[in-house]
A and B are shown apart, each in its own frame.
Chain A
Amino acid sequence: MRKRINHLNRWGKICLSVLVLMYGLAIFADFISPYSYKDEDRDFSYCPPTAVEFMDHGQWVHPFIYGRALTFNTVHRRVYVIDHAQRYPLHFLKGGRLLTVDAPGRFYPWGADARGRDLFSRIWYGARISLSIGLMGVAISFILGLLIGGIAGYYGGWVDSSLMWICEMFMMIPGFYLMLALRAAVPENFNSVQVYVSVVVILALIGWASLARIIRGMALSLRERDFVLAAKTLGVPDIVIIFKHILPQTISYSMAALMLTVSSYILAEAGLSVVGLGIQDPIPSWGNLLSDAMGIVPVIFAPWILLPGLFIFIAVMCFNVVGDSLRDVFDPMFNEK
């Protein structure tokens, strides 16, 4: 595996590092965020990002932020006026968090949302959801795909035809429609964990079919190879051949497809959440953070609420680039289509 990573081109390596960084920061969301994702303060609704001050009258001081007071301007629009009288020093590593300020000051590195919740914190807590859902969904799709594709490709004949027929059935419903239909079947009274699991399952169900087809194609050609014949003549049972000999080979080659599937799942979850059918508030996911931004008006006055979109973009782009590089690594060795 390490050898494969070394073969990635430069962009592939860069994007892989970015992804590792993102996942790392998501794991440590508790630590790097000033606040919990639920922590709201309606007095600071849509507060702009707070600048950190390093100097006072030309002298270097311990970093602090100014307080902010909410007023309304002549056209009744919210304006936050910086109050130079109030200062809140930034605490380093207090209470298990990297940077915090004492109440009633509020530190918003990237601005606040409608309820005064810190966007920076919510983005990183949301990263946990958005990034993990993609991976878990792919894990399930992949297992399903391996099983069904492997069995179909290996046995051929009517087993293949019927399994592929089932795949076609799933591919026949356009992805978003299938997602919504599946979502409609989820009971309303599910708690957030159950909703999370449902979304993972839904994502897995929309993508397993195309993975299964890819793996089936590979299995079909692999079963003609000599080592399979050798195993058969030695009396090795079919199941063992499939799991020990054929499937491991398909895994490396399907890595590229997997990366691309993760990126499409991240997009799918975002799509589902942005219309309010995915992860529910107050649990943040990048998608539901963006649902605030779906109206023009909030965006004009609080453009920072678009930031989650940037993160989706970065994550998806990195997965795509890594997937593409992996494909370049494996393509000369294996022709699928």
Chain B
Amino acid sequence: MIKHIIQRLCSKILLLLAVSFFTFWLMHATPGNFFDSLRLNPQISQETVARYENLYHLNDPLLSQYGHWIVNILHGEWGYSFYYNVPVTHVLGSRLFNTFILSFTSLLFTWSVAIPLGIWAALRRNQWVDRVLSVISFAAFSTPGFFLAVLVLYWASHWGGLPLGGMHSPNYDDMSIVGKVWDTARHLVIPAFVLSLSSIASLQRIMRGNMLGVLRQQYILAARAKGLPERVVIYHHALRNAFNPLVTLLGYEFAALLSGAALIEIVCSWPGLGSLLLTAVRSKDVYLVMSSTLLASVLLIIGNILADILLTWVDPRIQYEKKN
């Protein structure tokens, strides 16, 4: 299995290189050398400008520039952010972490709500619970995430129980560790909830569909014929079989999750990778744009690989195919 993971990793790295070249080419396809505006910026010293000019070999042909960029990345030199006036790496780290906790929390919440809901809907097929859930689900994934976020923020402003955006309260630095965690958690509630809603909607429907499909299978009839208690039939046999195909979905979920998270971050002022990219694009902060995009792709790949590993662990048939 290790060999398989390494194999996947290698092909993904190749893809990542292609993605990096694509973003690089994209940024440099725009006319105008951003370094011109840089030189004119009084806040940035001439040494810095000269240093980066050297580092990136800006007078060389495109491919050579790309090569230098990649080599620099591997050395931990991710470029300079002209908007924040610091090296890119200084900004990426914390933003990456913030996006990660938002996405991860949302993922946990989504799966822990959607799976039981899907099972419930399947077991109560065509009864009112099922129908109501179906309608709500459709509505939920048809609503634009940012719109829902505004509505929730609007409601929250009336209720007053939750902070309305941002990640930390003004007095964050004065709090104890526990206080800090709790404060972050409170700020996480609205963005994570809104982000989860449409995923819950689609996942629940899929789980319901899988469950109904599995319940028609011969091995469920066989399990009942063995005299197993009904709860063993449903929650041991049917559930596992209905759940497995969803693990493959997990890999694809990541793309949608990161994407959705970006917009929600912006609306809820959550300082993550998505809002960083927005600032970067608005200010034409080239290295920041490239780095954020690349990093987002890396996150995606890691998510996919983790999902792959999870799948092999959870489905014995796949392991078997690899052994042979």
Interface residues of A (CB under 8 A from B): 165, 168-169, 171-178, 180-188, 263, 267, 270-271, 274-277, 290, 293-294, 296, 299-300, 306, 309, 312-313, 316-317, 320-321, 324
Most chain B Cβ neighbours within 10 Å, of A172, A184, A271, A309:
A184
Please determine whether A172 and B259 come into contact, CB atoms closer than 8 angstroms. no
Shortest B80–chain A CB gap in Å is 16
B68-76, B224-232, B295-303: which lies at the A interface? B295-303
Shortest B159–chain A CB gap in Å is 13
Choose one: B30, B157, B293, B301; the contact of A177 (CB below 8 Å): B293
> A173-B300, A300-B154 are known contacts; what are 8 more A-B pairs with Cβ within 8 Å?
A171-B255, A174-B254, A177-B262, A178-B293, A181-B290, A275-B278, A290-B150, A300-B157
Shortest B282–chain A CB gap in Å is 8
B192 contacts chain A at the CB level, 8 A cutoff: no
Q: Which residues of A contact B260 (CB under 8 A)?
A: 176
Number of B interface residues in the complex (CB < 8 A): 53
Please determine whether A185 and B256 come into contact, CB atoms closer than 8 angstroms. no
Choose one: B15, B289, B293; the contact of A169 (CB below 8 Å): B15
Please determine whether B293 and A317 come into contact, CB atoms closer than 8 angstroms. no
Please determine whether B151 and A306 come into contact, CB atoms closer than 8 angstroms. yes
Shortest A189–chain B CB gap in Å is 10
Q: With A180-B281, A275-B278 known to touch, is A187 a contact of B296 (CB < 8 Å)?
A: no
Please determine whether A181 and B147 come into contact, CB atoms closer than 8 angstroms. no
Q: Which residues of A contact B289 (CB under 8 A)?
A: 180-181, 184
Which residues of chain B (20-54) have a CB below 8 Å from chain A? 22-23, 26-27, 29-31
Which residues of chain B (266-322) have a CB below 8 Å from chain A? 266-267, 274, 277-278, 280-282, 284, 286, 289-290, 292-293, 296-297, 300-301
Q: With A173-B297, A176-B262 known to touch, is A271 a contact of B157 (CB < 8 Å)?
A: no
Q: Which residues of B contact A277 (CB under 8 A)?
A: 278, 281-282
Please determine whether B296 and A177 come into contact, CB atoms closer than 8 angstroms. yes
Q: Which residues of B contact A293 (CB under 8 A)?
A: 150
B153 contacts chain A at the CB level, 8 A cutoff: yes
Whole-angstrom CA separation of A290 from B143 in the bound complex: 13
Choose one: B144, B263, B281, B286; the contact of A309 (CB below 8 Å): B144
Q: Which residues of B contact A171 (CB under 8 A)?
A: 255
Whole-angstrom CA separation of A321 from B164 in the bound complex: 33
Q: With A183-B281, A184-B281, A275-B266 known to touch, is A177 a contact of B138 (CB < 8 Å)?
A: no
Shortest B148–chain A CB gap in Å is 9
Please determine whether B154 and A299 come into contact, CB atoms closer than 8 angstroms. yes
Q: Which residues of B contact A186 (CB under 8 A)?
A: 30
B139 contacts chain A at the CB level, 8 A cutoff: yes
Residue of A nearest to B198 (CB): A267
B16 contacts chain A at the CB level, 8 A cutoff: yes
Q: Which residues of B contact A290 (CB under 8 A)?
A: 146-147, 150
Closest 8 CB pairs of A and B: A317-B142, A174-B258, A309-B147, A175-B259, A176-B259, A176-B262, A174-B259, A316-B142
A-B contact pairs, 28 of them (CB 8 A): A171-B255, A172-B16, A173-B296, A173-B297, A174-B255, A174-B300, A175-B256, A177-B292, A181-B23, A181-B293, A184-B26, A184-B280, A184-B281, A185-B26, A185-B27, A187-B31, A270-B144, A271-B145, A275-B266, A276-B282, A277-B281, A290-B146, A296-B154, A300-B154, A306-B150, A309-B147, A313-B139, A324-B138
Q: With A172-B301, A177-B259 known to touch, is A271 a contact of B26 (CB < 8 Å)?
A: no
B109 contacts chain A at the CB level, 8 A cutoff: no
B133 contacts chain A at the CB level, 8 A cutoff: no
Please determine whether A320 and B142 come into contact, CB atoms closer than 8 angstroms. yes
Please determine whether A267 and B144 come into contact, CB atoms closer than 8 angstroms. yes
Q: Which residues of B contact A178 (CB under 8 A)?
A: 293
Shortest B274–chain A CB gap in Å is 7
Choose one: A165, A177, A296, A312; the contact of B258 (CB below 8 Å): A177
Q: Which residues of A contact B266 (CB under 8 A)?
A: 275
Choose one: B27, B138, B157, B258; the contact of A317 (CB below 8 Å): B138
Q: Which residues of B contact A296 (CB under 8 A)?
A: 153-154, 157, 164
Q: Which residues of A contact B293 (CB under 8 A)?
A: 173, 177-178, 180-181
Whole-angstrom CA separation of A270 from B266 in the bound complex: 14
B141 contacts chain A at the CB level, 8 A cutoff: yes
Q: Which residues of A contact B30 (CB under 8 A)?
A: 184-187
B19 contacts chain A at the CB level, 8 A cutoff: yes
Residue of B nearest to A337 (CB): B245
Whole-angstrom CA separation of A175 from B260 in the bound complex: 9
Most chain B Cβ neighbours within 10 Å, of A178, A270, A276, A290:
A178
Q: Which residues of B contact A306 (CB under 8 A)?
A: 147, 150-151
B18 contacts chain A at the CB level, 8 A cutoff: yes
Q: Which residues of A contact B259 (CB under 8 A)?
A: 174-177
Shortest A62–chain B CB gap in Å is 38
Shortest B85–chain A CB gap in Å is 19
Shortest B191–chain A CB gap in Å is 14
Whole-angstrom CA separation of A313 from B139 in the bound complex: 8
Residue of A nearest to B283 (CB): A184
Please determine whether B258 and A263 come into contact, CB atoms closer than 8 angstroms. no
Shortest A184–chain B CB gap in Å is 4
Whole-angstrom CA separation of A171 from B16 in the bound complex: 11
Q: Which residues of B contact A300 (CB under 8 A)?
A: 154, 157
Please determine whether B146 and A274 come into contact, CB atoms closer than 8 angstroms. yes
Shortest B262–chain A CB gap in Å is 4
Please determine whether B296 and A174 come into contact, CB atoms closer than 8 angstroms. yes
Shortest A180–chain B CB gap in Å is 5
